[in-house]
């Protein structure tokens, strides 16, 4: 798999671009977003208009909780009116008291809740967070995902892209499968970054390994576009990712 990366900036959002050689019949351009957390959607839509992707892929945490979800749902509604939009379930979706799955499906976005679909010659799957909504306090260990779905998705024929909110799932569950590309977020870049390393990420702990960039040519971790708390970032701009697959 050939990969190149370039970085640009627009305001407080950095732009990362990846070119991936997959041997598919027709090239595709995806915008990859993660961890919107009720962020201001206007600059994100400006970037979407600039790069004009075939589809938008969102790997969870587009909302915050039961009292902060309307902006995220409005973003999905507008996004799906303009672009084919696919999203997976992160841990913050599970904090919603409402039926967030039903609300999400009403936006027009395709919710991949331990499901996959075919899109223009590739398979896109969503591996949902293993949290149940109540168990959110353990920052050192993330509950296991649906391994049955992961096995079924891995066995499917074709080039497979997996939306998996938690990058910590990759070394334990995903790396040994045939999934060619996994897109994750959750770590928020490690919140404070020094010498190219993040300081902390839930589910990974201190000085986590998977916080930003590409790993093994198969995992891309976004630093996200918003925050779920008031802790400020250091050396860690928000991130909009463009993925070109050929």
Q: How do residues 80-108 score in pLDDT, each as one tens digit?
A: 999 999 999 999 999 888 899 999 999 99
What whole-number distance in Å separates Cα of residue 158 and Cα of residue 29? 17
pLDDT of residue 68: 82
What whole-number distance in Å separates Cα of residue 219 and Cα of residue 234? 24
pLDDT of residue 232: 86
Q: Which residue did the predictor score with more confidence, 193 or 6?
A: 193
Residue 51, strand partner residues: none
Count of CB atoms within 10 A of residue 196's CB? 10
Assigned token pair, 7 = 């970085």
Average pLDDT value over all residues in the chain: 92
Strands 181-184 and 193-194: unpaired
pTM confidence score:
0.94
- Residues 102, 74, 130, 218, Cα dihedral to 10°: 120
Assigned token pair, 168 = 């910590």
Q: Percent of the chain scored above 90 by pLDDT? A: 83
Q: To which residue do tokens 């902006």 refer?
A: 71
Residue 183 has pLDDT above 70, yes or no: yes
CATH fold label, 5-245 = Purple Acid Phosphatase; chain A, domain 2 (3.60.21)
Q: What is the pLDDT of residues 50-84, one digit of tens each?
A: 999 999 999 999 998 877 889 999 999 999 999 99
pLDDT of residue 244: 98
Assigned token pair, 85 = 């939009």
pLDDT of residue 1: 47
Residue 179 has pLDDT above 50, yes or no: yes
Q: Which residue did the predictor score with more confidence, 246 or 98?
A: 246
Residue 134 has pLDDT above 70, yes or no: no
pLDDT of residue 231: 78
């Amino acid at each position: 798999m050939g990969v190149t990366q370039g970085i640009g900036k627009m305001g407080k959002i950095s732009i990362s671009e990846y070119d991936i050689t997959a041997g598919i019949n027709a090239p595709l351009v995806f915008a990859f977003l993660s961890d919107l957390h009720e962020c201001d959607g206007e600059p994100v839509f400006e970037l979407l208009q600039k790069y004009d992707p075939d589809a938008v892929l969102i790997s969870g945490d587009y909302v915050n909780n039961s009292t902060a979800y309307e902006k995220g749902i409005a973003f999905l509604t507008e996004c799906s009116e303009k672009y084919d939009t696919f999203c997976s379930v992160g841990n913050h979706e599970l904090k919603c008291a409402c039926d967030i799955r039903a609300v999400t499906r009403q936006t027009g976005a395709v919710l991949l809740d331990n499901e996959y679909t075919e899109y223009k010659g590739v398979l896109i799957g969503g591996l949902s967070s293993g949290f149940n909504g109540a168990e959110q306090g353990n920052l050192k260990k993330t509950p296991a995902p649906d391994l049955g779905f992961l096995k079924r998705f891995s066995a499917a024929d074709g080039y497979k892209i997996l939306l998996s909110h938690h990058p910590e799932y990759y070394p334990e569950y995903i790396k040994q499968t045939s999934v060619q590309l996994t897109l994750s977020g959750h770590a928020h870049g490690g919140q404070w970054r020094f010498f190219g390393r993040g300081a902390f990420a839930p589910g990974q702990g201190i000085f986590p390994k998977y916080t930003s960039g590409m790993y093994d040519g198969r995992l891309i971790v976004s630093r996200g576009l918003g925050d779920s708390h008031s802790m400020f970032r250091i050396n860690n701009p928000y991130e909009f990712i463009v993925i070109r697959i050929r």
